[in-house]
Amino acid sequence: MKVLKKGEPKEWSVKVKCTGFGNNRYGCGAELEVVKKDIYLTYSEHYWGETDIFYTITCPECGKETDIPNSKIPYYLKGVFPSKAAWQKAAKGELS
Ligand SMILES: [Zn+2]
C-alpha cells in the first residue's frame, strides 16, 4: 500500500555538514541548511565510460564543495538541478 501525500512541501531543505570532497580538500565542518537553489550537478567520469552524477554545494563559510548523498535528494527534485556553470551564472545574477 502506498500513502498518498497532499502535495509537496513549499521549500524542501536538507541539513548537511561541510566536509569537502576528494584531494584532501577537507571542509570546515559548518552545519548548512541547503535549499534547492544551492545545489548544482558535478560529474565524475570513469575510464570505462560510466559517469557518476553528484549533487554538490559550495560552502559559504570556506568556499569548498561538498557532495550531498543521493539518498538525501527527494525523487521529485532529481531532474531539476543546473550544471555548475549555469548555477554560477545564476548566483552572480542574484548578487547584482
Ligand atoms: Zn565549509
Nearest to 58 by CA among 39, 77, 35, 73: 39
Give the start-to-end residue ranges of the domains of the chain.
13-95
* 21 C-alpha to ligand 1 centroid (Å): 11
Decide: 56 and 39 in contact? Cβ < 8 Å: yes
Buried b vs exposed e over 40-50: b needs ≥16 C-beta within 10 Å? bebeeeeeeee
pLDDT, greater one: 95 or 51: 51
Average pLDDT, the chain: 88
Residue at grid coordinates 567520469: 45
Residue range 52-61, pLDDT digits in tens: 999 999 999 9
**67 C-alpha to ligand 1 centroid (Å):** 12
| 25 close to 66: Cβ distance less than 8 angstroms | no
CA of 18 to the centre of ligand 1 (A): 5
Q: What confidence score (pLDDT) does residue 25 get?
A: 64
What per-residue confidence (pLDDT) applies to 89? 92
β-bridge partners, 35: 13
Q: Is the pTM of this model over 0.95?
A: no
